[in-house]
Amino acid sequence: MSLRIEQHISLQPFNSLALPAYAEYFCSVTDKQQLLAALDYAREHQLEVTPLGGGSNLVLAGDLSGLVIYLNIKGFSYSVADDSVEVTFAAGESWHQGVLTTLQRGWYGLENLSLIPGNMGAAPIQNIGAYGVELADLFVSLRAVEIATGKTCEFDKAACQFAYRDSLFKNAARDRYIILDISLRLSTNPVVNISYPALQAAVAEAGLEADLSPEAVSQLVCQIRQTKLPDPAVTPNAGSFFKNPVIADSAVAELHNQYPEMPTYPQPQQLSKIPAAWLIDQCGFKGVRRGSLGVHKHQALVLVNYQTDGGGTGEQLLALAEELRDAVWQRFAIRLEIEPRVYGQAELADGSL
């Protein structure tokens, strides 16, 4: 099918925070040929390119100039080895649908990542993770098209430089590639991982310790997420709005003198991760509202757009984020870093605005 490029298209239905913003030029691509044609068009007309996936990890602070390319490439393929399978998902496949597909086929490993919003192609950019598992644990490789040349390149796991909510594609390769598909290695043996405390507690409460299947883990993860996290289809949000800060154990020890109950997750190299939700909660922001926007009442790390009075704007959301960052800085001397990508406004390297 030929490529259709439109002008002045509202991006409100394309971002899970439902923020109002327009794309100067917009097209939806359903295969690699269309993507290459869109990139040719952008090059010819000297348009900046913004790839758009599920729209669940971005903040639209203003209109986007240039060409927004909506990645609607679908499909998956697989090859089976002895006790594992390598599955390749096209970038436009929904993450959660993909998780369900693998479970239905008896391919295991993704169950802890159930119900994460967004599409397959975005998953490696921030190395999505939840309940003790992250994408990097299952990742084999990805294929991406270089925006400047249209060349297809392959990146293996090492090349992607995965870290906590981080990868090459947020750093040296930022804005240089569009991910086409991702390949994951899954197990055909039903092994489960319930190391994450909240998940372990849910397993115990359901009385499932003795005979725990990956399908049951997936269902429990869905239940936990549904209780704690707002459904973007009902209350627009972008999941965790800040990364959990990683600080030196020496600083943790000092904070523990004053806040012995502060939760910490030990990391390598004498570092610890502190839940940003706890820090924000301590500053009294859980459930706070600012106009149409607010801090979710069950999870202080999630900012929500209640869409009252016409809904909040990206600028208002970023103002609320700054208010939270200031409060946490004043009280704990910890700088929170915004997790979703901010578009339509200059972003500083330290995550501030």
Is 240 among the residues that bind ligand EPU (CB under 6 A)?
Answer: yes
Is 339 among the residues that bind ligand EPU (CB under 6 A)?
Answer: yes
Question: DSSP label at 3?
Answer: -
**Residues 92, 90: Cα–Cα separation, whole Å:** 6
If DSSP codes are grouped into helix, strand and coil, which group holds residue 322?
A: helix
Is 351 among the residues that bind ligand EPU (CB under 6 A)?
Answer: no
* 331 assigned to active site: no
Residue nearest to ligand EPU (CB): 239
Spatial contact of 352 and 69, defined as CB atoms under 8 Å apart: no
The helix (run of H) or strand (run of E) holding residue 246 is strand 246-248
**Residues 272, 218: Cα–Cα separation, whole Å:** 28
Q: How does strand 341-343 pair with strand 302-305? A: unpaired
Handedness of CA 97, 103, 109, 113 (dihedral sign): positive
Among 149, 254, 263, 322, binds ligand EPU (CB under 6 A): 263
Is 277 among the residues that bind ligand EPU (CB under 6 A)?
Answer: yes
Closer to ligand EPU at the Cβ: 299 or 313?
A: 299
Contacts of 110 by beta carbon, 8 Å cutoff, 6+ apart: 98, 99, 102, 103, 133, 138, 184, 186
Is 137 among the residues that bind ligand EPU (CB under 6 A)?
Answer: no
User: Catalytic pick from 114, 167, 240, 272?
Assistant: 240
Is 25 among the residues that bind ligand EPU (CB under 6 A)?
Answer: no
**Residues 100, 84: Cα–Cα separation, whole Å:** 17
* 339 assigned to active site: yes
Among 48, 281, 315, 323, binds ligand EPU (CB under 6 A): 281
Spatial contact of 110 and 102, defined as CB atoms under 8 Å apart: yes
* 174 assigned to active site: no
Among 300, 304, 317, 336, binds ligand EPU (CB under 6 A): 300
Span from 85-93, 177-185, 248-256, 293-301 in contact with ligand EPU (CB under 6 A): 293-301
CB of 123 to ligand EPU, least distance (A): 11
Point out which residues bind ligand EPU (CB under 6 A). Answer: 130-131, 196, 198, 228-229, 239-240, 243-244, 263, 275, 277-278, 281, 286, 299-301, 339
Active-site amino acid positions: 165, 240, 339
